[in-house]
Amino acid sequence: MSCRELERLFVSGAPGAEASAHRRTCAECARIGADADQTRSLVEGLAAPVWSPALRRTLFEIPRQTVSCEGADGLLAAALDEERRLLETIDAYRRVFAGRDPYARLAWWNAGGYLIQFPDHVVRPVAAPPLPVVPVAVPLLAASAPPAGHAPWLPPGPLGPPGGQR
């Protein structure tokens, strides 16, 4: 059973000297009194904010900006619905572009790697690159010469500029 003398003295409005006298004679109330002294020293530096219409508006905004546990379920469900809708939109856009690029080769994701149809129409496994991109197989062609009108630095000849051929 705890001593409630400090509480009784506080409620009765007794002078602080009576509580101090009791604390000197009761070990339990001495500990409780020390905690109360520490709490008092911590909060004595606190001051209430200056009241203003802006503070009033801010305080009234708090309930509108917080979420109760009951409301969180609905917000999470709405967020999941939004994410699902966005994924479906992205998938719909991908379906529009899939197969439209004549240079893009067919590629499939297959258990940690790609299966890609190469220009020779053979499907080969390709390891996933470190970057999140699909590797694209393209035929390597010999570099062609630039048009003669765009290569004035070339010597006269069949590949040189038209004016330099004579």
Q: Output the smallest distance, CB 32 to Zn ion, in A.
A: 8
Q: Output the smallest distance, CB 42 to Zn ion, in A.
A: 23
Q: Output the smallest distance, CB 2 to Zn ion, in A.
A: 8
Per rule CB under 5 A, is residue 5 in the interface with Zn ion? yes
The pair of three-digit structure tokens given for residue 129, joined into one six-digit string: 């690159």
Q: Specify the residue for token string 């409630």.
A: 4
Binding residues among 14-43 for Zn ion as defined by CB under 5 A:
26, 29
Q: How many residues bind Zn ion (CB under 5 A)?
A: 4
Q: Output the smallest distance, CB 29 to Zn ion, in A.
A: 3
Per rule CB under 5 A, is residue 3 in the interface with Zn ion? yes
Q: Which residues pair with 117 in a beta bridge?
A: 123
Q: Is 115 exposed, middle or buried (0-12, 13-18, 19+ CB in 10 A)?
A: middle
| Helix (H), strand (E) at residue 123 | strand 123-127
Q: Is 134 exposed, middle or buried (0-12, 13-18, 19+ CB in 10 A)?
A: middle
* Residue number, 33 or 161, with CB nearest to Zn ion: 33
Can you give the binding site for Zn ion, defined by CB under 5 A?
3, 5, 26, 29
